[in-house]
Each structure stands twice: as C-alpha cells, then as structure tokens.
Amino acid sequence: MKIASRFWVLIAAVLTATTAGAEPEPGVAELTDVASIEGAIAERLARIEHAQTRQAQIDTEISGLQSQRGEAEGRLHERARALYRVRRAGMLPVAGGFDALMQHLARVQRLSRMVKADLETMEFLEERGAALRVEKKDLADELEQTQVMLRALEAKKEELEHSQRSASLFQETLSGQRSEPPPEETLSYGRIRVSGDMDDLGDGFAQMRGELALPVQGSLRVGDAEREGAPGLEFYGRPGGPVYSAADGRVAFSQNYGAYGLMVILDHGNSFYTVYGGLGHSDVQVGDWVGMSTRVGTLNATGPDAILFFEVRRGTKNLDARSWLGL
C-alpha cells in the first residue's frame, strides 16, 4: 500500500511540474484571424471529448469498486468471525496433543493474515474511490471552463467572420460591384421613384457640388475627422435626432462596419457615394430608393454626444465633403 501511494504521489508531482512549466495559452482577444480561432476550437473540442471519455471511464471504475468493496466486506465479515471463534477456543487444542496445537496456531495465523489483507483491500478501495471522485470533480471543473472558452471562441469566430463579410461588402459597394436595378414602384415616407439607370442619376449628382443637403439639420458643430484612415466630417446633433440623405440615391449598404458603427451608404450613380456612419438606427434597407433630405436613420441616443460621420466618395476615393456640402 505504501509503495502504491508513493507511486501515485510521484505521478501527481510529475503532472504538476509539467503543467507549471507549460506556456500559458493565448486568450480569445489575442486571436485575430479565423484560422487560429478554428484551431483553438478544434483543440477545445478534443479536450471536451477526452474529458467526457475519462468521466465515463471513472464512472465505470467507481461502479466496479463498489462491487469489489461489497465482496471484500463479505469476506472480511466471515473471516473475522472465524478468527474470533478460533481465538475464543483458547488452549483447548492442547488436549489433542502437539500436532493439534500447531494446527490451531497455524489456522490463527492464516486467518489473521487474511483479515489483515481484507482490511488493506478495503483501505485501498476506499482511497482509490476517493481519488477517482476528486479526479471526476476536477474533470467537471475543467470541462466547464473548456466549454466556456469554446463558446467565447465560437462567438469570436462569428464576430470576425461578420467583420470580414462587412469589410468585403463595404469594398464591393464602393467599387460598384453590387449594383442592382431600381424598383418599379414608388416607396413610402419620402422615398421616390427614380427613372433611368444609375449613370443618369450620377450625371445629376456631379452637378451638385456645393448644393448637397446637410445630413444633420441644425447642427451647431461640424468638424473634420476620419474613420479607418478615411477623411470626412463629424456632425454633432441631438441624440436620437434624424439623419437625412444628402441627395437622391439608392441604399447600397446598411449594417454595422468596423469603426463606422451602424452605417448607411447611398449610391448616387457614376460611382458617387455618400456615407453616413455612427447611426443609432437605420430606417432603410439595401435596394431602397430615397429622395434628397429623406430620413435614412437616427443619431445614436445612448451617449452624451450624438455624432454622425459623413463622407462623399467617388468609388473608393474620398472627396472633399465640405466643398460638396457648401461649407
């Protein structure tokens, strides 16, 4: 028993030293690409499978130990009673002569060894069962932590994939790859029907330099700013206040994107675009047609400052927003 105990202590010490010397795993925030996250997810799934397999093995072994303990208890009970009866006989075998006495002593010794062995077996089964229960609890804790990390990794992967799709859609939008035909019917709340193609509309937009409508009317502060290296203007307005289209156009983009936050892009034809970033809410969907000064959304209403970031672009090239607005 002492040798077995020292063996398990040695194994535990080796495992502890190995764990202590291992390099810390990278956190979710440190993983910045989908491939590395997928690798981390695969590793967590393997850990979960291993832990669940080991838990099943422990349950099977504990069940077997309970059966062995029951058998050992039965044997111990029988042998202890036999030893008790033999010892109570005292020196009665002396009357049978020397041989009877030696047989009596040998039986006492044999029963004593059996009882001692049964007690050691009971102790081993108890210690082994306790060790397995501790291991099972540690596995349950590890499994819970691994599942929490797995959910965080899956959420991070979804976030990165969404960001990549948004970035791709953003570039496709500004490069004119997502052009769609205009709808045939007039739309509600100020949206207008536009006849002709987008190039016809762009010819009109090109003549509107200095005459675009202000996207935030009554704004007291307008300042130069940029988002992701792209220059534009910041309009400070009333939290939750309306944001208006600077000219007639079609909604080419309406969703969250990087530092822009919730953003709407209007396509005005001939690769002219106006960008409205930092919205609290969007009133339009991709494909909608809107008229000049039509409400496309609202300013953010959750913070102390409501700021709209506004750009004018020709494809992916930024134009001077001030000159187009006449500021």
**For residue 293, is it within any domain?**
yes
The CATH number of residue 104's host domain is: 1.10.287
In-domain check, residue 187: no
> Is there a domain that residue 189 lies in?
no
Amino acid identity at 184: E
In the chain, the amino acid numbered 195 is S
Q: Are residues 72 and 133 both part of a single domain?
A: yes
Domain region containing 314: 198-325
- In terms of average pLDDT, the best of 16-30, 163-177, 218-232 is 218-232
Residue 193 lies in a domain: no
Helices and strands (H and E) in the chain: how many:
5, 10
Say whether both 14 and 160 belong to one domain. yes
pLDDT at 13 over 50: no
pLDDT digits (tens, 9 = 90+) for 220-243: 688 899 888 889 999 988 888 899
Domains held by the chain: number: 2
Residues 118 and 231 in one domain: no
pLDDT in tens, 245-291: 999 999 988 888 888 889 999 999 888 999 999 999 999 998 899 99
Cβ within 8 Å of residue 268, ≥6 positions away: 198, 201, 202, 205, 247, 248, 249, 274
Asked if the structure places residue 192 within a domain, the reply is no
Beta bridge partners of 265: 253, 275
pLDDT of residue 298: 93
Q: Establish how many alpha carbons lie within 13 A of residue 118's alpha carbon, considering only the half-sphere containing its beta carbon.
A: 19
Statement to judge: residues 11 and 154 lie in one domain:
yes
Q: CB of 164 within 8 A of CB of 34?
A: yes
Residue 8 in any domain: the answer is: yes
pLDDT at 295 over 90: yes
